[in-house]
A = this chain, B = another copy of it.
């Protein structure tokens, strides 16, 4: 152990060289991250100290360098904290890190969609092989969706798919909802109409961050053949937002700063939320999109802002409607799409309804990205053990 040549001198920082780099850590940051059992509960990793437990006038009075570890002693209370050099090197305070994977910076964007690009895994493999499960869940986070194939076409299976990576988010539509033509639809989803790209439940806050759609039956043509429409389209909203920012920064800014009121009303429900169509992280990076004109309510802004908003909104809608941005899929029975509802817009073409024959039938449910990311992290941890 090497004594600090400046022992006895109080300092506000720890400075050291690790991995060939000169690193500098403030005393308060070190103390707040002290890993000793007085500061962190061994079982849970949770901190035992609140920020107000850190003494005022904190300084480092002694630095002891023991090769792979470095220990510092703090004034005024003589608390001693030891850190591994590799941990310090891995936490260098020289840039921005430790986001949570939710902004555009951590995504693989697909500005132009192609049929070849569909990440997919069969359900039996997903269940049996952790490596396939890891790949599928990572695709939801990185690319915004995955297509699970060969999921048994049994009612309620969509809930099992959700339970395989997280927790179902129950809403007024139930734990699961049936997407098929209803005689008295409470929502346009339950008709045979075409629906342009949109995100679900923009009138909710928090909106569900994951959506699942499991195909039980496809639409058939009048002659009973498949191909009766009801095809699914997906679109990368983060890639589209980046394109808007690159070509029309003013519209992008307008959409990011204007809260849009959304609403949904039926007999038992009256939901509303007012949030921008493009949501940014505090650092100004795209973190979410909401797009669903069906549920938009009248904007209540000063006249000039309404004019500016509609100009931006139209640009945005036109960009989202470009066919080359859309990935077209024909779900077959057993297909289950899992997608990021904060990023990927989904659409469907109109479909035929043939009297006397059962029509298109999907079952859907909602879940959340945080649980999915947690399941993925645990699978990766187990894989690395």
A144-188 Cβ-contact flags toward B at 8 Å (1 or 0): 000000000000000000000001111110000000000011111
Judge whether A94 is part of the interface by a CB distance below 8 angstroms.
Answer: yes
Binds B, one of A27-35, A113-121, A129-137, A232-240: A27-35
Q: Which residues of chain B have C-beta atoms less than 8 A from A283's C-beta? A: 257, 259
Judge whether A313 is part of the interface by a CB distance below 8 angstroms.
Answer: yes
- Known A51-B314, A307-B26, A317-B52; contact A282-B298, beta-carbon cutoff 8 A: no
Whole-angstrom distance between the Cβ of A94 and the nearest chain B Cβ: 6
- Known A170-B168, A269-B374, A317-B50; contact A98-B188, beta-carbon cutoff 8 A: no
Is there contact, CB below 8 Å, between B172 and A374? yes
Whole-angstrom distance between the Cβ of A336 and the nearest chain B Cβ: 20
- Known A266-B44, A371-B172; contact A313-B51, beta-carbon cutoff 8 A: yes
- Of A48, A172, A297, A374, chain B has the most CB atoms within 10 Å of the CB of A374
Q: Which residues of chain B have C-beta atoms less than 8 A from A187's C-beta? A: 44, 46
Please pick, from B28, B206, B293, B370, the residue contacting A368 in the complex, using a CB distance under 8 A.
B206
Q: Which residues of chain B have C-beta atoms less than 8 A from A257's C-beta? A: 282-283
Please pick, from B51, B185, B300, B314, the residue contacting A317 in the complex, using a CB distance under 8 A.
B51
A56-83 Cβ-contact flags toward B at 8 Å (1 or 0): 0000000000000000000000000000
- In the complex, A313 Cα to B307 Cα: how many Å? 40
Whole-angstrom distance between the Cβ of A164 and the nearest chain B Cβ: 13
Q: Which residues of chain B have C-beta atoms less than 8 A from A33's C-beta? A: 298
- Known A51-B317, A256-B282; contact A299-B29, beta-carbon cutoff 8 A: yes
Is there contact, CB below 8 Å, between A269 and B47? no
Judge whether A350 is part of the interface by a CB distance below 8 angstroms.
Answer: no
Please pick, from B29, B50, B99, the residue contacting A274 in the complex, using a CB distance under 8 A.
B99
- In the complex, A265 Cα to B296 Cα: how many Å? 39
Judge whether A272 is part of the interface by a CB distance below 8 angstroms.
Answer: yes
Q: Which residues of chain B have C-beta atoms less than 8 A from A301's C-beta? A: 93, 95-96
Is there contact, CB below 8 Å, between A44 and B185? yes
Whole-angstrom distance between the Cβ of A147 and the nearest chain B Cβ: 25
Is there contact, CB below 8 Å, between A52 and B273? no
Is there contact, CB below 8 Å, between B26 and A303? yes
Is there contact, CB below 8 Å, between A96 and B313? no
Closest to A33 in B: B298
Judge whether A302 is part of the interface by a CB distance below 8 angstroms.
Answer: yes
Q: Which residues of chain B have C-beta atoms less than 8 A from A97's C-beta? A: 300
Is there contact, CB below 8 Å, between B205 and A306? no
Closest to A205 in B: B370
Is there contact, CB below 8 Å, between A91 and B44? no
Whole-angstrom distance between the Cβ of A257 and the nearest chain B Cβ: 5
- In the complex, A44 Cα to B267 Cα: how many Å? 10
Residues of A at the B interface (CB closer than 8 Å) are 24, 26, 28-29, 32-33, 41, 43-52, 54, 91, 93-100, 102, 167-172, 184-188, 196, 203-207, 209, 256-259, 261, 263-266, 268-276, 281-283, 293-303, 306-307, 310, 313-314, 317-318, 321, 368-371, 373-374, 377-378, 381
14 contacts between A and B (CB under 8 A): A24-B303, A29-B298, A41-B188, A46-B294, A47-B295, A91-B298, A93-B299, A96-B300, A99-B274, A100-B273, A168-B170, A203-B370, A206-B206, A272-B373
